[in-house]
Structure 1
Amino acid sequence: MHMLGETDDLPAQPAPEKKGELVRLLKGTQLSAHSIDGYLAAICIAQKMITPDRWLPPVLNAVLPDLPAPSLQRFLDLLLHRYNAAIEKLADPKGLERMFRNMTNAGQRDWCKVSGGKAEL
């Protein structure tokens, strides 16, 4: 008999991202880690909640042609880690400023990439 609060049936949490891991996974795809972070930040600050069934397909369409199949689950794990990190950073008034301060100019441009008035991945 299981009691409320028992977690032995829950899957293990994915391992945290290792330094440069997402960058390596995305090598050869249309996306960069900075563009994903910018996209996720935009989703997090939208006036209305954007559910994963709306924001995930554009990301997957951009990476699937070039992402090796064995890397897909790890990519999804890292994407959700980064989504949660974006929520935490944006909850802190100084979080966004610190994040930008640590980026290169190219990274900042990638994070903010806009095409024709619409954010793109």
Structure 2
Amino acid sequence: MSEQRKHIEVVAAIIKKGNTILATQRGYGDLKDGWEFPGGKIEPGEAHEVALKREIQEELKAEIAVQEHIITVEYSGYEKFDLTMHCYLCSLLNDSDITLLEHEAAKWLSKDTLYTVDWLPADIEAVDAIYKRL
């Protein structure tokens, strides 16, 4: 009998500033160095918006406004787990600066530069969805 794969449910913030979107580079784990939208795991019983605000505070030391759901990505191509990623368009509050607490790099990408980083596979569908809106 095969072992059941681990399933992880996360939220991701597509943070828009002007005509740019924030991409962050993972600084740890099996997916280290891959580029992603910041965010993280949803705690049991936690609303998506609450999870997003908490994760962005923990990862970027920034406050965000959650604006709208963009896409939910179901991805099963990772070696160790399957992923459900709920992606939301967000903006920084109070002209917050970001402080990288868990990532090794960050870039603000325009429509022309959106595909210039090595996005993690699960994030590609969200990148494609936001590209159409920029």
The normalised TM-score by structure 2 is 0.27
Structure with greater proportional helix content: 1
Higher relative contact order (CA 8 A, sep 6+): 1
Structure with greater proportional strand content: 2
Higher-Rg member (1/2)? 1
